[in-house]
Amino acid sequence: MENKKGKIPAVFFDRDGTLNVDTGYLHEQEKLQWMPGAREAVKYVNDRGYLAIVVTNQSGVARGMFGEEAVKELHGYMNEELAGVGAHIDAFYYCPHHPEAVVPEYRQECSCRKPKSGLIEQACRDFDIDMEKSLMVGDSPRDVTCGEGAGIRGVLYEGGSLLELLKQYI
């Protein structure tokens, strides 16, 4: 679904509480539980020519609960699971920082921690994204604020089928 300028629209997904059940600092594959219609929603996005991009705060890294490698491994596993329904996430962006981190190298105010829009802005630098047609979908007002701060429409997911929600916008 490229437009005349060659730009591609994207759906930015929050992770915990939007794509998967928020079990609190999820980093273990065996604890991954998909939200209703989440895998189908990603496939729907893929099939319509949109990029599917995850933007997620992962302060468990800053809190010393797990390392960045665990985040990356979980994201790889999520894509393995999505492949089972013919879907995929094009890119995962995460913020490991927190201003009160116990791990010193992650203790900082940053532009990538939602509700700030740094993760979306980085994705837009990495991909030629059509901002006007893109969406940020998340289960928290901070996700909506993040999208709007980057100049894209924010959509609040309040439960139910994620696929049915997306069909209202794409």
Domain boundaries, the chain: 10-139+146-167
Can 16 be counted among the known catalytic residues?
Answer: yes
Instruction: Give me the mean pLDDT over the 135-146 stretch.
Output: 97
Instruction: Give me the mean pLDDT over the 47-64 stretch.
Output: 97
Local structure of 51: helix, strand or coil: strand
Q: 137 is written with which tokens?
A: 């979908």
- How far is the C-alpha of 87 from the C-alpha of 91, rounded, in Å? 13
- Please report, in angstroms and rounded to a whole number, the separation of the first and last CA atoms in the chain: 11
| Interior angle at CA 98, CA 109 and CA 137, nearest 5 | 95
Tell me, what's the pLDDT at 119? Answer: 98
Q: Please tell me which residue in 16, 90, 130, 143 is annotated as part of the active site.
A: 16
Tell me, what's the pLDDT at 61? Answer: 97
Q: What does the pLDDT look like over 92-118, one tens digit per residue?
A: 999 999 999 999 999 999 999 999 999
Tell me, what's the pLDDT at 5? Answer: 60
| Torsion angles phi and psi, residue 71, rounded to 5 | -65, -50
Which of these, 113, 132, 117, 116, lies nearest to 50 by C-alpha position?
132
Q: What sign for the dihedral angle of Cα 114, 115, 116, 119?
A: positive
Contact by Cβ (8 Å): 137, 143:
yes
Q: Full-prediction pTM beyond 0.85?
A: yes
Q: What is the CATH number of domain 10-139+146-167?
A: 3.40.50.1000
DSSP string, 77-94: HHHHHHHTTT---SEEEE
DSSP 124: H
Can 47 be counted among the known catalytic residues?
Answer: no
- How far is the C-alpha of 63 from the C-alpha of 129, rounded, in Å? 33
Q: Say which residue the tokens 């139910």 belong to.
A: 160
HSE of 164, CA atoms in CB hemisphere, 13 A: 6
In this prediction, residue 4 has a pLDDT band, given cuts at 50, 70 and 90, of very low
Tell me, what's the pLDDT at 1? Answer: 46
For residues 4 and 23, the model is more confident at: 23
